[in-house]
Amino acid sequence: MTAKINVLDNGYVRLVDAMGTDLTPVNAARVSYAKESQVLTERDVRLIKFLARENHTSPFRHAIAQFEVYAPLMVARQWFKYIVGSAHQEGTGDSLDAWNESSRRYITEEPVFYVPAADEWRSAPENSKQGSGDVVPLPLGASLSADLVEYIDDGISRYEEALKLGICAEQARLFLPAYGMYVRWYWTASLQSVAHFLAQRLEHDAQVEIQAYAKAVLSLIEARFPVSIGELLTKKEDAE
């Protein structure tokens, strides 16, 4: 399975593997009656709608998806905070998440950084301490992009010099600008957990960059579980 969607300038989300289909939560829910469907029917769809609507979420934990994500550190850390907290969210129960990330303690491949284009820099919001406002004027954006590239180049030079001097990779990486640096990880999650992530990160007030990744995850997961993911997200919209 190699479905992949590019995100931002150098990032991507790839669906590495998946277990189950829309029949998975159906059959998990009916196991107590020793019944099993082989082909998704309208009756099965109605059951999925019922499970999602009534917050009977455990059957959705039997369907699993594994993603490979390549994203700036600022996205990865926001994503990871969601993973850590998701099992403690009301109604989610055991969300079944696993996370394994590359580390510059062990790898010294050429670092890649996210640099917003001139028309992607956003102003601070007027009425909030977080989030962002409108796009700044193009000349200012172009200047900021150039400054960021200069800053990154200086950090890379210092990082490479430290390595040449024999400094260990785990300390040499201190010279690298952190938040824009791309990192790679595997995220394995139940369908319920993926839906919870999407419900949070597709919101209009979520950080723009992680919204872009959430949209990629949605495109990949709905191709495999179109009915279930649609109903789980509809439940969230109806609750609001």
Q: Which long-range contacts (CB under 8 A, 24 or more apart) does 166-174 make?
A: 169/104, 169/105, 169/106, 169/107, 169/108, 170/104, 170/105, 173/104, 173/105
Q: How far is CA 76 from CA 85, 143, 160, 174, 213, in A?
A: 14, 26, 24, 18, 10
Active-site annotation holder among 14, 61, 201, 224: 201
Residue 135 tokens read as: 């796009």
For β-strands 182-190 and 64-72, DSSP reports them as antiparallel
Indicate if 105 belongs to the active site.
no
Residues that are catalytic = 201
